[in-house]
C-alpha cells in the first residue's frame, strides 16, 4: 500500500500537468483569434446614478444592447473622485469590465489622492470631449470675453467665479488659463467651489456670483432660454448645439481646455481584447443615439484608438501636472 503512493502521486502529477498545459495551450490559441464578449459586460462609472459619467454609461449600455455588440450593465462605484471605480476596473482580469474615465484619473495621482497610475489601466478609446464655458447672467455688464478680462485686470478679486465641484479640475484650468492669457495671476482670482454644476447654475441665476467656469452642458439650456450668456467656450471649434457662441480663441484668448472622456480596461489587456473594444467603441460613437447625446450635452465628437489615446493621456498628464504645480495643488 504505502509503496504504491509515490507512483500514484507521480501519475497524478503527470495528469494534472498535462491538463494544465493543454488548458494554457488552448488559452493562448484563443488569444491569437478574435475576442468577443461572452457574458454581460460591466461598464463601471465613478459617479452616482444620474451624475456625470453615469449618463454616458447608460447611453453606451443602450447602444451596445441595440447593436447587439454586448449585453451591458452599469455599475456605480462612487468615491475618491473616481479612484474607487478606476481601482475596481484595474484589478479585473479581462475585458468584460470597462470603465469610463475623465480627468480625475490623472489629477488623483498628481494631487496624491490615489496611488493609481496610468499603467494600471489599459486605454481603449477616446470617445469625446467637452469644452468649458465661461458664463455670465444675461443681464451682466460683461458682453464679451474682453470686457470680462479687462475687469479682472483692473481687480482680480472683484468677481466671484465658480469652478464647480473641485479645485484643480478642468473648470479651474479653463478660467485660470483665460486669466493668464490676459496677464492676470490666476492665484489671485476669487474662486468658489460648490457641490456641482447645478449649484453653480442656481447661484449664478440668483446673482450671488458673477460668473461660472463649468463644462458647457450646464450652460446650454440657459443660453437657449436667454437667461445666461456664454462668453466663450474653450474648444478648438464652435459647437453645433450653440452655433452663435464663439470659441475663446476667436475672442482673442488662445485657450483650449477640454474635459475628455476615455474608455479604459483592466491592467495589461492582451491585444485582441483591446482591438475588439476599439471596433465596438468606434461603431458606438457613430451610432445616432450617441450623436444625439453628444449634441444635447455639448460634446465634440472625437475618436482616438487605443494607441493614440495612450499617447494623448501621457501628454495630458504632463500638462496637467505642470498646471497643478503652478497652483500649488500637486504633491
Partner 1 sequence: MEALSLVLDGFSVSLQPINLWYTFIGVLMGTVIGVLPGIGPAAGIALLIPVSYGMNPTSALIMMAGVYYGAQYGGSVTSILINTPGESSSVMTAIDGYQMAKKGRAGAALAVSAWGSFIGGTIGIIALTLMAVPLTKIALGFGPPEYFMLMALALTAVSALTGNSPAKGMLAMMIGLMIATIGTDLQSGQMRFVMGIPELQDGIGFVVVVVGLFAVGEVFIAIEEHFHSRSEIFRLQGKLMLTKEEWRRSLGPIGRGTIIGFLIGILPGAGATIATIMSYSAEKNMSKHPEQFGQGAIEGVAGPETANNAATAGAMVPLLTLGVPGSGSTAVLLGAFVMYGIQPGPLLFQSRPDLVWGLVNSMYVGNVMLLILNLPLIGLFVRLLYIPTGILLPLVLVLASVGIYAVNGNIVELYLCLLFGVLGYAFRKIDIPLAPLVLALVLGGMMEQSFRQAMTISGGNPKIFVSSGLTIGLAVISVLVLAVKFSKVISRRKNSGEVKSATI
Contact call for residue 87 and partner 1 (CB under 8 A): yes
Kindly state whether residue 75 participates in binding partner 1, applying the rule CB under 8 A.
yes
**CB contact set of 321 (below 8 Å; sequence gap of 6+):** 110, 330
Nearer to partner 1 by C-beta: 30 or 325?
Answer: 325
Rounded to 5°, the CA angle 281-75-79 comes to 110
Number of residues that bind partner 1 (CB under 8 A): 57
DSSP 43: E
Q: Kindly tell me which residue out of 64, 69, 77, 95 binds partner 1, with binding defined by CB under 8 A.
A: 77
CA 126 from chain center: how many Å?
9
Contact 241, 219 (CB under 8 A): no
Closest by CA to 60, choosing from 232, 326, 263, 221, is: 263
Indicate which single residue of 131, 134, 222, 276 sits in contact with partner 1 (rule: CB under 8 A): 222
Region of 16-24, 128-136, 195-203, 247-255 interacting with partner 1 (CB under 8 A): 195-203
Cβ neighbour number for residue 182 with a 10 Å cutoff: 16
Of 199, 250, 302, 316, the one binding partner 1 by CB under 8 A? 199
Binds partner 1 (CB under 8 A): choice among 125, 170, 171, 297: 297
DSSP at 69: S
Q: Decide: is 201 part of the binding site for partner 1 (CB under 8 A).
A: yes
3-state secondary structure 244-272: CCCECCCCCCCCCCEEEEEEEECCCCCHH
Closest separation in Å from C-beta 288 to partner 1? 11
Examine residue 192 and tell whether it contacts partner 1 (CB under 8 A): yes
Binding residues (CB under 8 A) for partner 1: these are 48-51, 54-55, 58-59, 61-62, 74-81, 83-84, 87, 111, 113-114, 157, 160, 165-168, 190-195, 198-199, 201-203, 205-209, 220-222, 224-225, 227, 292-293, 296-297, 329
Amino acid at each position: 500500500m504505502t509503496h504504491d503512493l509515490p507512483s500514484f502521486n507521480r501519475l497524478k502529477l503527470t495528469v494534472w500537468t498535462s491538463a494544465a498545459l493543454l488548458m494554457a495551450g488552448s488559452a493562448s490559441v484563443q488569444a491569437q483569434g478574435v475576442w468577443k464578449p461572452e457574458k454581460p459586460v460591466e461598464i463601471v462609472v465613478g459617479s452616482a446614478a444620474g451624475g456625470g459619467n453615469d449618463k454616458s454609461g447608460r447611453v453606451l449600455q443602450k447602444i451596445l444592447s441595440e447593436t447587439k455588440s454586448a449585453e451591458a450593465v452599469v455599475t456605480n462605484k462612487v468615491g475618491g473622485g473616481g479612484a474607487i471605480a478606476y481601482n475596481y476596473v484595474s484589478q479585473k482580469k479581462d475585458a468584460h469590465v470597462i470603465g469610463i474615465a475623465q480627468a480625475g484619473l490623472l489629477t488623483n495621482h498628481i494631487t496624491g489622492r490615489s496611488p493609481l497610475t496610468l499603467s494600471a489601466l489599459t486605454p481603449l478609446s477616446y470617445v469625446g470631449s467637452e469644452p468649458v464655458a465661461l458664463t455670465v447672467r444675461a443681464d451682466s455688464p460683461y458682453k464679451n470675453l474682453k470686457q470680462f478680462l479687462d475687469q479682472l485686470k483692473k481687480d482680480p478679486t472683484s468677481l466671484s467665479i465658480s469652478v464647480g465641484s473641485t479645485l484643480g479640475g478642468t473648470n479651474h484650468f479653463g478660467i485660470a488659463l483665460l486669466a493668464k492669457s490676459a496677464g492676470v495671476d490666476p492665484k489671485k482670482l476669487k474662486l468658489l467651489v460648490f457641490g456641482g454644476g447645478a449649484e453653480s447654475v442656481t447661484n449664478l441665476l440668483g446673482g450671488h456670483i458673477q460668473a461660472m467656469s463649468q463644462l458647457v452642458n450646464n450652460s446650454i439650456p440657459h443660453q437657449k432660454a436667454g437667461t445666461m450668456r456664454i462668453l466663450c467656450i474653450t474648444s478648438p471649434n464652435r459647437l453645433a448645439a450653440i452655433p452663435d457662441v464663439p470659441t475663446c480663441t476667436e475672442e482673442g484668448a488662445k485657450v483650449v481646455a477640454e474635459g475628455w472622456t476615455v474608455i479604459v480596461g483592466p491592467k495589461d489587456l492582451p491585444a485582441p481584447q483591446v482591438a475588439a473594444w476599439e471596433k465596438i467603441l468606434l461603431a458606438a460613437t457613430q451610432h445616432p443615439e450617441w450623436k444625439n447625446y453628444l449634441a444635447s450635452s455639448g460634446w465634440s465628437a472625437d475618436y482616438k484608438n487605443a494607441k493614440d489615446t495612450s499617447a494623448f493621456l501621457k501628454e495630458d498628464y504632463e500638462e496637467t501636472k505642470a498646471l497643478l504645480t503652478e497652483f500649488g495643488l500637486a504633491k
